[in-house]
């Protein structure tokens, strides 16, 4: 784990979520991310639709896009309303969760090999 320390520190700096970033993160990031699945696919991995996949997105891009929706800086039909349900810290936590997911179409058959 020691070798990971520099990367860990780097990601903290990148997102400006230093120690107190957990401020009021009242929700499990995965529980928040699961709410996106009806439109964006299981684990955000629906690649063949106009509502875009979220899996594997650059977390800075995800965060900035959500903030732009929330603050009315980006045209949309529904995402402004959705984004207004989340705090900065919650958006960042979802960004990091989706960044972990493979940017591949969700395929339940992969579960069979997940021993």
Partner 1 sequence: MPNNSTILSRRELLKSAGLGALALSGIFGASHRAYAKNAQHVVVIGGGIGGATFAKYMRFADADVKITVIEPNKEYITCLRTNDVMVDLHTLDELTFSYDTLRNNYGIQFLFDSVSDVDFDKKQVRTKQGEKLSYDKLVVSPGIDFRFEDYEGLSAEIANTQLPHAYKAGPQTLLLRDQVQSMPQGGVFVMSPPAGEFRCPPGPYERASMFAEWMQRHNPTGKILILDPKNTHSKYGPFRKGWERLYGFGTDNSMIDWLALDEGGKVTQVDPKRKLVKTENGTEIKYDACNVIPNQRAGKIAQHLGLTDASEWCPVNRNTFESEIHQHVYVLGDSTIADAMPKSGNAANTQAKVAAKAIAAELKGETPGNAIFSNVCFSLVGSRYGISISAIYEVRDGLIKPKGQSAGVSPIVDSPAQAALEAVYQKNWHRTFVKDVFG
2, 12, 71, 73: residue in contact with partner 1 (rule CB under 8 A): 12
Q: At closest approach, how far in Å is the CB of 63 from partner 1?
A: 13
The DSSP call for residue 37 is H
Helix 5-15 to helix 88-100 angle (10° resolution) is 140
Asked if residue 64 binds partner 1 (CB under 8 A), the reply is no
Helix (H, G, I), strand (E, B) or coil at 71: coil
Give the separation between CA 40 and CA 69, rounded to whole angstroms: 16
40, 54, 66, 69: residue in contact with partner 1 (rule CB under 8 A): 40
Give the separation between CA 59 and CA 37, rounded to whole angstroms: 17
Asked if residue 51 binds partner 1 (CB under 8 A), the reply is yes
For partner 1, the binding residues (CB under 8 A) are: 1, 3-4, 7-8, 10-12, 17, 19, 21-22, 25-32, 34-42, 46, 49-51, 77-78, 81-87, 93, 96-97, 99-100, 106, 108-109, 111-112, 114-115
């Amino acid at each position: 784990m020691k070798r990971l320390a520099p990367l860990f520190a780097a990601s903290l700096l990148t997102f400006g979520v230093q120690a107190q970033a957990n401020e009021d993160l009242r929700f499990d990031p995965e529980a928040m991310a699961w709410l996106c699945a009806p439109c964006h696919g299981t684990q955000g991995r629906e690649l063949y639709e106009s509502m875009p996949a979220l899996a594997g997105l650059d977390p800075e891009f995800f965060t900035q896009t959500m903030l732009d929706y929330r603050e009315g800086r980006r045209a949309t039909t529904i995402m402004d309303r959705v984004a207004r349900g989340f705090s900065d810290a919650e958006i960042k936590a979802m960004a990091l969760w989706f960044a972990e997911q493979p940017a591949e179409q969700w395929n339940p058959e992969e579960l069979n090999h997940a021993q």
